[in-house]
Chains A and B, each alone.
Chain A
Amino acid sequence: MQSATSSFLARFEGLKSRLPGDLDVREAACERFGATGLPSRAIEAWKYTSLKPLAEISFAEPLSDASDIDPAHLPGFIALLPDFDLPRLVFLDGRFRADLSVLPELATVTNFAVAPRLGPFREGTLDALNTMLAEDGAVINVDPGVDAGTLLLVNLAQDTRGRPVAFHPRHRIRLGAAARLELVEIALGEGIYLHNPVFEIEVGDEARLTHLRLQNESLHAFHLASVHAQVGRDAVYDSFTLTLGSRLARVEMDVRLAGTGGTAHLNAAQMLAGEQHGDFTTCVLHQAKSCGSRQTVKNVLAGHSRGVFQGRIEVARGADKTDGYQMNQALLLSPDAEIDSKPELEIFADDVKCSHGATVGALDEDQLFYLESRGIDGKTARAILVRAFIAEALEKLTLAPDSEAVIRAYLDARIEAGFERIAA
């Protein structure tokens, strides 16, 4: 089990004098990570997800530097990037590429390497790993009252001449009171690598952040992401995560509804095939009155793939009029696919509405025959039903009118390509 862990610790020793930011926080994270290493399935929160395939790999530091790759030699997969005309922050192997980026006009953007800020220190192993090794990331600020429009956050990745690499971007997004931002995050890559981003998000009072995450990593890659969001009074954090790529993915979302009337949407869809493993783990903490949270998580699983959803809702004392909803559904396209679903509700307040549910099933034969009897071939009929199954998780997503059509078209194209792949 020690291969990946020791490569991370060794890298920290080698790098630490050059890493930006507070070294004490990094040392503490190193101590935390070194004490346990990568989490094992003996830990309750990791019961359904084994990091064994990752643990056996020794990861190197990416060789690519901010300056040493000619844009003309970027890998072919960037053709998958949407070509629409929107500001974008592009990272290659976790490092900011100013030359490929187009800065937004209405948001202030810098990068972590220039303005490092770590902490508060978090206990989770993935956080500790990131805190120990974070080199770069996006730091985005939207001033109070400003609608910053749509911003793409693109992460391109590739292994270095066949050597597995790991990178740990640290993103920090802050919206002032009544500010708005639509962040469209796209992860693409080739080869074997570990992408281990941490997002620290603050949504100010009456502000609204739409966070669309399109994970389309290399099928040999590992994607271990943590999102921490704090949502203010009457503010909205509206997220949708689409997991298509990577051999093993785990997304941890932890959202704190800290002000009265806040709303969080943690919706997701996973489309997996082969030996892919996709884990969507959430924790929503209702700390204030009259907050709402919605989680609709859809899994489309083919081959021997495995989907995991662990959703925890905690309602603190006094957080009355809480409205929490959680639904996990799986469509199994193969008898060998598997879904694990673990809802957890912990409620310390009165006058609370919280519900959860889970369903598992195959495609409906009656529906398929109905479509086919109208002239639609079997494969297209299945694609229509899969798309319809996912639609419910997508329909809550609010997009800015200016970019809605292009973003939805891109999303639809990715889902269609995802279906083509898993149906093959």
Chain B
Amino acid sequence: MLEINNLHAQIDNKPILTGLDLTVPTGEIHAIMGPNGAGKSTLSYVLAGRAGYEATEGTAALDGHDLLTLPPNERAALGLFLAFQYPVELPGVGNANFLRTALNAQLRARGEPELDALQFLKRVRAEMKRLSMTDDMLKRNVNVGFSGGEKKRNEVLQMALLKPRLAILDETDSGLDIDALRIVADGVNAQRGPDFSALVITHYQRILEYIVPDRVHVLAAGRIIRSGGPELAFELERDGYARVIADAA
């Protein structure tokens, strides 16, 4: 379960989050929608622990563990996964090696046995088969020369492999065509279960047709200003952010 209380955060001394409260119970998928500049990406980076995104007040905890004092890798080992809006290219780093290093680092941090090359290959191939991906993605360098859709698929593969407790999807739908969107959505839906929760951060309602959220929250000016069921996404789509924000004020 993710619990955020009164979270304030700033970048370069500029306040972005201004008292954000949010609870995502385990097993649920919540969406955060908001206009540009509302603090959507900041929220995901603050939770994941990116340098430069400074929490100045409040708390954020995953399954009772305080996140804000931990380095990013330890947050990942607790089960936090951030799917990037723009997955980063790593020239010279083989994808298979990267995935195995990441998986083993998390297993080690949790005191579980690591996978050798063969065990890993078996595991990753099984996940890829489930996601209808080809092996060829393993042989390439991480995200180098990948199309936008391939990069997002690689994010989904990482999520499937690392089996997070909480996945944050930061505008994963941006720049995706319908087919790629469906693959990403299928990947998330495949993780759905009593031990998995997700925070889908998006500007548009479209992705929520494929990943149906349990709750929808509206983020504006650094705070959650309204929460509701899946129908709230359609209301936003119909009336626009300005109207919903004005009504909430």
Interface residues of A (CB under 8 A from B): 365-367, 369-378, 380-381, 384-385, 387-392
Which residues of chain B come closer than 8 Å to A388, judged between CB atoms?
Answer: 90-93
Which residues of chain A come closer than 8 Å to B98, judged between CB atoms?
Answer: 371, 374, 384
- A375 and B106: CB pair below 8 A? yes
In-complex Cβ contact of A369 among B51, B103, B106, B162 (8 A): B51
Q: How close is B170's CB to chain A, nearest CB, in angstroms?
A: 11
Q: Given contacts A378-B71, A388-B90, is CB(A373)–CB(B105) below 8 Å?
A: no
- A384 and B93: CB pair below 8 A? yes
- A377 and B90: CB pair below 8 A? no
Which residues of chain A come closer than 8 Å to B77, judged between CB atoms?
Answer: 375
Interface residues of B (CB under 8 A from A): 48-51, 71-73, 75-77, 81-82, 84, 87-88, 90-93, 98, 101-103, 105-106, 109, 158, 162
Which residues of chain A come closer than 8 Å to B101, judged between CB atoms?
Answer: 376, 380, 384
Task: In the A-B complex, list the 5 residue pairs whose CB atoms are closest, starting with the nearest.
Answer: A388-B92, A375-B76, A374-B102, A372-B72, A370-B88
- A372 and B71: CB pair below 8 A? yes
- B92 and A389: CB pair below 8 A? yes
Q: How close is A378's CB to chain B, nearest CB, in angstroms?
A: 7
Given A373-B72, A373-B81, A387-B92, 18 extra CB contacts under 8 A: A366-B88, A367-B90, A370-B84, A372-B49, A372-B71, A372-B72, A373-B82, A373-B84, A374-B102, A375-B73, A375-B76, A375-B162, A376-B102, A378-B73, A380-B105, A381-B73, A385-B90, A389-B92
Q: How close is A329's CB to chain B, nearest CB, in angstroms?
A: 12
Which residues of chain A come closer than 8 Å to B109, judged between CB atoms?
Answer: 375
Can you give 16 contacting A-B residue pairs, CB < 8 Å?
A370-B84, A370-B87, A373-B84, A374-B73, A374-B98, A374-B162, A375-B76, A375-B77, A375-B106, A375-B109, A378-B71, A378-B73, A380-B105, A384-B101, A385-B93, A388-B92
Which residues of chain B come closer than 8 Å to A381, judged between CB atoms?
Answer: 73
Residue in chain B with minimal CB distance to A391: B92
- B88 and A375: CB pair below 8 A? no
Q: How close is A324's CB to chain B, nearest CB, in angstroms?
A: 23
Residue in chain A with minimal CB distance to B110: A375
Q: How close is A199's CB to chain B, nearest CB, in angstroms?
A: 30
Q: Given contacts A365-B51, A378-B71, is CB(A373)–CB(B92) below 8 Å?
A: no
Residue in chain A with minimal CB distance to B75: A373
Q: Which of A373, A380, A381, A392 has the most CB of B within 10 A?
A: A373
Which residues of chain B come closer than 8 Å to A387, judged between CB atoms?
Answer: 92-93
Q: Which of A365, A369, A387 has the most CB of B within 10 A?
A: A369
Which residues of chain B come closer than 8 Å to A392, judged between CB atoms?
Answer: 91-92
- A375 and B102: CB pair below 8 A? yes
Q: How close is B44's CB to chain A, nearest CB, in angstroms?
A: 10
A349 to B106, CA, bound (A): 58
In-complex Cβ contact of A375 among B51, B90, B92, B105 (8 A): B105
A365 to B52, CA, bound (A): 11
A389 to B93, CA, bound (A): 9
A369 to B49, CA, bound (A): 9
A370 to B76, CA, bound (A): 11
A385 to B90, CA, bound (A): 8
- B91 and A376: CB pair below 8 A? no
Which residues of chain B come closer than 8 Å to A376, judged between CB atoms?
Answer: 73, 101-102, 105
Q: How close is A276's CB to chain B, nearest CB, in angstroms?
A: 24
A387 to B162, CA, bound (A): 24
A375 to B87, CA, bound (A): 16
A380 to B108, CA, bound (A): 14
Which residues of chain B come closer than 8 Å to A385, judged between CB atoms?
Answer: 90, 93
Q: How close is A330's CB to chain B, nearest CB, in angstroms?
A: 16
Which residues of chain A come closer than 8 Å to B91, judged between CB atoms?
Answer: 388, 392
Which residues of chain A come closer than 8 Å to B51, judged between CB atoms?
Answer: 365, 369
Which residues of chain A come closer than 8 Å to B73, judged between CB atoms?
Answer: 372-378, 381
Residue in chain A with minimal CB distance to B82: A373
Q: How close is B98's CB to chain A, nearest CB, in angstroms?
A: 8
Which residues of chain A come closer than 8 Å to B48, judged between CB atoms?
Answer: 373
Which residues of chain B come closer than 8 Å to A391, judged between CB atoms?
Answer: 92
- B92 and A377: CB pair below 8 A? no
A365 to B92, CA, bound (A): 16
Q: Given contacts A380-B105, A387-B92, A388-B91, is CB(A373)–CB(B71) below 8 Å?
A: no
Q: Given contacts A384-B101, A388-B93, is CB(A374)–CB(B76) below 8 Å?
A: yes
